[in-house]
A = this chain, B = another copy of it.
Amino acid sequence: MAERGVGSATDGQDSEIATSEVVTTTRLETFSDGVFAIAATLLVLDLHLPSGVRPGGLMHALFTAHQLAEYAAYAVSFFVIGITWLNHHSVFRQVREVDRTTTIINLLLLLVIAFLPFPTQVLAEYLNTGGRNAHAAAFFYSLDMAVMSLLWASLWWHCTSNGCQLLRTKMAAEAVRRSRLQFTGGVLLYLPMLALAFVSAGLTLALQAALALYYALDPLRRSRPSTPI
């Protein structure tokens, strides 16, 4: 799949090969979109009917602290996956050619995203219990997010290596440096969350939501000069 890039299609069958390459990039995005959409939508399966509801007690049971924790965990994870999808799109819109390493890193990234419903369920279950179990749940959740940020950084470092030959438009060295710093900074934002988890599970969830919102502002966009390079 990989190295047979557009550049190597020098003689004959140009349009044929060019087309199949476009499909390749498109198809990687289609598969990724699928995983994002499914992982986000599967989160609802983490929500459980309140148990032991007495006659007339459902209204109260639907809004207990435990249920609200489940809804909050659902909403934050849905938002995180949605924003990640958004940035995945921003990144791959700039990618011209998907090589094998990109594909492998992307697979690992999807693996970690598709895993998120599990830590979400753990967090939903233990968030409002407080104490060490809530901390462990928040740590487990933040661990998944930290690995995700590491894979994002790896993906971008790889895409901008070797003179950005995988990108649609060459980036200036300064822009490459700045964009790489931002992705690396992402890792530095997510690592302290692992420690914060042991202070407050609720605060950790709130900050994870805040980080997702921060990333909704598109780091790549800010690293781009006002005119396209």
Taking Cβ atoms with an 8 Å cutoff, the residues of A that contact B are: 1-7, 9, 12-13, 16-24, 26-27, 29-31, 33-45, 47, 49, 53, 55-59, 62, 74-75, 78-79, 82-83, 85-86, 89-90, 93, 96, 100, 103-104, 107, 110-111, 114-118, 121-122, 125-126, 129, 131-133, 135-137, 139-140, 168-169, 216-218, 221, 228
Contact = CB atoms under 8 A, between A and B. Distances in A.
Given A2-B218, A6-B6, A6-B18, 8 more contacts: A13-B228, A27-B29, A31-B37, A38-B41, A39-B44, A59-B136, A74-B115, A104-B216
B117 A103 contact: no
B45 A86 contact: no
Contacts of A132: 55-56, 58-59
Contacts of A40: 35, 110, 114
